[in-house]
Structure 1
Amino acid sequence: MKNSFLFFSLMCASSIVAQQKTIDHPDYEYAKNYVFDRIIFTDTATIAEITVSNLPNYWVSIDSNSYLKDSNGDKVFRLKRADNYELNKQVFMPESGERKATLYFEPVLPEVDRVDFLEPQSNPQDATLGISLKQSATEQFPLEICGIWTSNNGESLQIYPKGFFNNGIVEQASIKKSGKNEYSVVLNDGTKHTISLREDKKGVKTLRYDNTTYSPALTATNNSNHTNWTFAPEQYADKAITPGKAIVKGYIDHYTPRLGYSTLTFRFEDQITRDEKNILVDIAPDGSFEAELPIFSPYWSFVSGINKGIYLAPFDTVFFYSDLATPHKNKNTLVFLGSEDAVAINTLQPTIAQKFNLPNGMDIYNATKEGLPATLEMKQTLLNKANEYAEQSNSILAQYNLSDYAKNQLISDFQTYIFKELLELSSYYNNKKYLNKQDSLGNYYSETNPDFIPLPADFYDFYPTFYTTVLNNPLFCTTSSSWVPINRFEFAPNMYQPKMWKHENYQNLSEKDSILLRNRQAADIAAFVDSIVIRQHDYKIDTCYMSDYAIARTLKYTILDILKDYDLDFKLNVLSTYMPIIKSNHVRSQISNYLIKE
């Protein structure tokens, strides 16, 4: 009897095992807040162990009406219940930004191979799309393996999570983890290779690719070339305004056309002329893209579609990998490959910023909300960061193999960011001078804040501190923070703005009216230039690139407006009037020559 019962129990257990299927870490097309770690299939339910993620102290609510849907059809499998997570409730994330949960759905039919996790009225960018119901056969390289590696004989190996970028060619590979920090790789031509990451007792990392050892290309093995190096950005004045074509190639992981867009938008602005340019780049269904971009100068372009800034320069080639999944977690998962300067600047700019724990825009804004003492304290914090970096920049940059240009660019970017945040600090605080109110009819109006305490007269005494690193630095216009300083300088309080003197019949001006309008316009431009000089005096600084740019930008728009509207004789007279100003000492030769060509 006992033997019969044991036999029956074993049969039941084997039957249950046979009816279950488990998939660990299934592939998915896209995910924002929910990543499926394991899926268990039974006859009565499909059970999903998931990681719910968001920014720390931000909430995520799972709707009880959520469901799985066949990615290739209309079949729906409803959520039945959840463990370790209360449905229909705003559940706040801990400091890790993650919580675990188990969701129970109606059984998914065997013929379904991919599903979407959807909530009622959710749009694709809030969903988890294309969850594979088959065990993945390939993996990808972890970020610590990705980057540029160089062998002793100068061979370069450029790796991103999906494969390689060598000689300008992107190649995805079949990747399988074969041991701790070891991977077997099959290339498109069928050849097999092995990669392993090694780290010695001193923390020095090397990469073994088959029988060749590689070291990180950016890490300096000999910093003797940096010993006598000094910051000298003026030598790159011409490069800062040189137009040309930048080549971009890349791969967007977890992209799918089902997100509702198929292009990236690269945004550029010419800091001298204020001309703006948005360039659309097509994304292939697999997430890859490639384009040549005609750009004004070296520039940090904001790329919508991945919502990140990328440094691009004429004649450089940049490959970058970005991961769209769980954007709050993957905001720093950019991998850059390609031209040395572009890779170094894109890779090290955020790395160096993190070393100094810089205040962000929200920190600046919150300080002004707390009042004048907190605002002044934040000002000192920013100045301390600038001083710390000035003292440590040489030793920090000596750790990397960098060109002189890359070193100058990285220092310029850091110091311009600090200068920008100081200006933002004053702007946020001065906005409190007025209270925005709404009357009974719904109309908005402003009135003076009776409790407002003005900033002290010496608040702007930081200008001379940044004279060399920002204000008189031709590379400031190529930094990621350039637009704020020049905008604040150009449109600051008490800055004279030229008027456009018009005539009702400007196509057929009499000689008298032509002379009158030209003289008025010339006087206006002269007043603007004088106000620049006065502003320099107020801030205790000399003529600098920042003021030259402000003059150039205003002259460009004033002249173009006149050339667009008036008759030929007046246009020629205007050009003869303004060319001496453009060529004067107020505007550097590089900028004036560029403006004349425009």
Structure 2
Amino acid sequence: MLLLLALAVALTAAAQRVIENPDIDYVPTWITLTEITLGNDRTVVKAELRNNPNPWVKVSSDTDLIDPATGNKYHILGAEGIELDKKTYMPASGKMLCTLLFETVPASVERLNMVKEGNRSDNNIYGIHLAKSAPKVPAVGEDGIDPWTMTAEYYMSLPPSGAEVNIDYRRHRGMEFCKSATAHVKVHLDNYSPELGVTTVRLMSYDHVYHDETSVLADIGSDNTYEADIPIEHPQFILSSFPAKVWFLMPGDTLEVFHTINSDNTAFRSRGESGMINALNYPLHDRLNYTRGFERYKQMTDSIAAGRAATEALIGQLADRYNRVWDGTFAEQCLRDTPLSSFGKELVMVNVACELLEFMEDIYAEYNRQGEIKNKAEDGSTYYTTDPDFEMLDHKRMFNAIHDYCLFVYDNPLTLMSSRTLGIFNRSEFDPVFSKYSLFEYEYIARRLYGQQTEARTLLESKQRIDEQNMRDYGIGDCFMAEMARARSHITLILSPLYYSMDNLGDEAVNTILSTGYDFLTTIRNPYIMRKMVEEQMRVKDLIAERQAARQGESTATEKSEKKSPPTPAEEILQRIIEPYAGNLLYLDFWGMNCGPCRRSMIAQREIVEQLSGEPVRFLYICEEKTSPRKLAEQWMKEQSIKGEHIYLTVDEWNRLAQMFEISGIPHAVLVDRDGKVITNGFHLSSADDLRKHLK
């Protein structure tokens, strides 16, 4: 009897195979698999669902286990512990156990994916290994340290540097840190699978004077790494498209990043101080009890909903934290025991201060937006007026709260290195302090165009009057941020549009506006901004000269060889997109569902599309399907009557075209002629005639 029982147990064990804690290439944040049992009548998957407390998780009845080697599907049959297709709300622990039952998976299958049709790829599971892999051997470096352990905890375990913090922001006015060199980045990925649909990555640096991105494209190799050389003019944070992170880089340094997808597990190793700064930057922020992400957004919306007093109280709390960054409190309590150099400590302080200022500006703007009244003009356009009964927050009050230390950011060139540089500069251009500078230049140009005699010193005197007013109202006169705001405004609102509008203005007006650029330089003191302005002024001048010469039949372009090289992957993607519309003038609009200006532009262009409906012109609206899901995009375009061709790209296809067309932001338009050649990259469309003239 005992022999028969033992035989039965042995046969049962042979009939099913249990894999505990299976090795998985990629797991999303909402689920993890703890055990898989391959049986004769079904496959049992034990899982742990995960989310924040209270939010829900849902397992669909459309879920399949798929053998990627054959494409065979094994459908879900049911579940225990949860109901399929029903929202399961998470308990306080944020975790819930369940069992998923699937059709029988043959014993010969070595690897599975768990996929719901129509899901975003990063919500599926890829590479469930049904046999245990060999244990990973730590990639110990020459120093004997596993680089995956070089996190904030590792760096904080090092002896303190004892370096003092020099917070005299004025010593950086010479911009001695601007030393152009190439930095090297290598990124190691864990919890990654190419089945996510991402095999290329864009690494982007930013020129904050030109308001422009420079990007390089890197391919993720079979070893789950990618690397690239990035030329940068000064230490700065660069943006990676995958993972969507910012990393600090110093010119000439080599930075290695060790990142686990869908987690905060990131380690850094570098030859210089880049790695240590990356590892310690945000953990040191947290010592100041600083909130970010969703918590920050909720803190803002809750205070605004509670009313003016609560909103002012929150701004006051942030102002107090900002002051503590510079009054010695932060340096003493948060930085003294770190191994950072004086430069590293000062950079962390600037980062913290910029984040706090950015948050304060956002609260100020969001609260006052309640006092805006949306109106509709007779032509259907929208404009806003101010509710006279609404009491706006006083911007001066915010600056008064940080009066003693406001110049530690606003007159500090190290803001160029902050992880929040883009946000700080963008907001400064539109706040009441710095937005005045663009207006006085417009007035100056108008006087020149209409023949009123004026001299360069008038521009300088106008600038000085604004400096004096800002000093009285906000305690900020001429400073680094003011010069940046003026330079950015001059380039983006005057120089760049000038090239595209020169045909409508005429040569005399174009030359007059160009000459104001040299007058404008008299208002700039910072050597870095001055150099960038001169370079851009000369670049636009040369472009305009070439266009004027070409228009007069005196092309200055040199003859180029007609020999064609093999098409690049990006060119092949573009050809595949435009080929079905051969013989038409093509307007390619790169957009995204999460881009408000993109959607407003598409709505504004509806009349132009209608006017050209009978002519050989096609409008191609191109988006990346991961961030702009097809179903949602099609629904919105149907509701808004957006006519045209709808093109959806993978992440890799989008990255390659973004690299080819140097797309630094969307919307971005490209014009392709009827022969399939790109006419204009960065096309500005304002009327149907802008396109009709290319049909002649």
Residue 342 (structure 2) pairs with residue 408 (structure 1): no
Question: C-alpha offsets along residues 518-546 of structure 1, whole Å, 9 cap, x if unaligned?
Answer: 95998678646643553343211232211
SS in 1 for 2:118: coil
Q: Does 2:489 match 1:492?
A: no
User: Matched residues, percent identical?
Assistant: 21
Aligned ranges 1:119-518 → 2 under 5 Å: 119-139=116-136, 156-161=143-148, 216=154, 219-223=157-161, 225-226=162-163, 228-237=164-173, 238-324=175-261, 327=262, 330=263, 332-360=264-292, 361-362=296-297, 363-390=299-326, 391-436=329-374, 448-449=386-387, 452-456=390-394, 458-493=397-432, 495=436, 496-497=438-439, 498-499=441-442, 516=451
Structure 1 pair 334–96 and aligned structure 2 pair: CA distance change class (3 A) = farther
Counterpart CA distance in 1 for 2:76 and 2:453 is: 75
Secondary structure at the residue paired with 1:39?
strand
Shift in Å, 1:247: 0.8
Alpha-carbon offset, residue 8 of structure 1? 2.7
Q: Distance in 1 between matches of 2:236 and 2:416?
A: 8
How many Å apart are 1:108 and its aligned residue? Answer: 0.7
The range that moved more, 132-141 or 374-383, is: 132-141
**Which of 42, 49, 60 is 2:39 aligned to?**
42
User: What does 1:20-39 correspond to in 2, within 5 Å?
Assistant: 20-32=16-28, 33-39=30-36
Distance change >3 Å, CA 323–CA 304, structure 1 → 2? same
Give the direction of change, closer, same or farther, for the CA distance of 1:242–1:119 in structure 2 (3 Å limit).
same
- 1:134 is displaced (CA, Å) by 0.7
TM superposition shift of 1:435? 4.6
Q: Hey, which of these two has a bigger chunk of strand by percent?
A: 1
**1:137 alignment partner AA:** A
Distance 1:520 1:260 in 2: 58
- Number of residue-to-residue matches in the alignment: 517
Amino acid corresponding to residue 75 of structure 2 in structure 1: R
- C-alpha change, 1:8 and 1:280, in structure 2 (3 Å) is same
Q: Deviation of residue 137 (structure 1)?
A: 1.7
Deviations 1:169-193 (A, max 9, x none): xxxxxxxxxxxxxxxxxxxxxxxxx
- 2:63 counterpart of 1:66: yes
Give, in whole Å, the separation in 2 of the partners of 1:475 and 1:341: 16
The separation in 1 between residues aligned to 2:165 and 2:124, in whole angstroms, is 51
Alpha-carbon distance between aligned partners in 2 of 1:85 and 1:110, rounded to the nearest angstrom: 27
- Is the contact between residue 18 and residue 37 of structure 2 (CA under 8 Å) also seen in structure 1? yes
Distance 1:552 1:164, change over 3 A: closer
Q: CA RMSD in A?
A: 3.6
How has the CA–CA distance of structure 1 residues 278 and 337 changed in structure 2, closer, same or farther, with 3 Å as cutoff?
A: same
Q: Where does residue 478 of structure 2 map in the other structure?
A: 543
Q: Which residue of structure 2 aligns with residue 507 of structure 1? A: none
Deviation string 1:244-278 (CA, Å, 9 cap, x unpaired) is 32211111222222222221122332122222223
State the Cα distance separating 1:417 from its structure 2 match: 0.9
Superposed, 1:578-597 pairs within 5 Å as 578-579=517-518, 581-584=520-523, 586-597=524-535
Closer, same or farther: CA 305–520 of 1 in aligned 2, 3 Å: farther
Write the distance in 2 (CA, Å) between the matches of 1:57 and 1:438: 41
Provide TM-score, normalisation by structure 2: 0.66
2:424 is aligned with what amino acid? Answer: P
- Give the CA deviation at 1:474: 0.9
Determine if contact 1:269/1:296 at 8 Å carries over to the other structure: no
CA offset digits 1:413-463 (Å, max 9, x no partner): 111111111111101111111255899x99877565576332146243235
C-alpha change, 1:592 and 1:112, in structure 2 (3 Å) is: same
| Unmatched tracts of structure 1, length 5 or more | 149-154, 166-204, 206-215, 504-511
Secondary structure of the structure 2 residue equivalent to 1:261? coil
The one-letter amino acid of 2:105's match is V
Conserved? CA contact 1:24–1:135, under 8 Å: no
Quick one: structure 1 residues 596 and 121, their matched pair in 2 at CA, closer, same or farther if it must change by over 3 Å?
Answer: closer
Residues 299 and 478 of structure 1 are in contact (CA less than 8 Å); yes or no, is this contact kept in structure 2?
yes
Return the alpha-carbon distance in structure 1 between the equivalents of residues 92 and 452 of structure 2. 64
1:537-562 CA deviation, whole Å, 9 max, x = no partner?
Answer: 32112322111212232344545666
Residue in 2 that maps onto 1:10: 6
User: Pick from 466, 473, 481: which aligns with 1:531?
Assistant: 466
Q: How far is the alpha carbon of 1:115 from its aligned partner?
A: 0.8
Q: What is the CA–CA distance in structure 2 between the aligned matches of 1:578 and 1:74, rounded to whole Å?
A: 63
3-state SS of paired residue (1:516): coil
Aligned-partner SS, 1:499: helix
Amino acid in structure 2 at the alignment position of 1:467: C
- Contact 2:287-2:334 at 8 Å conserved across structures: no
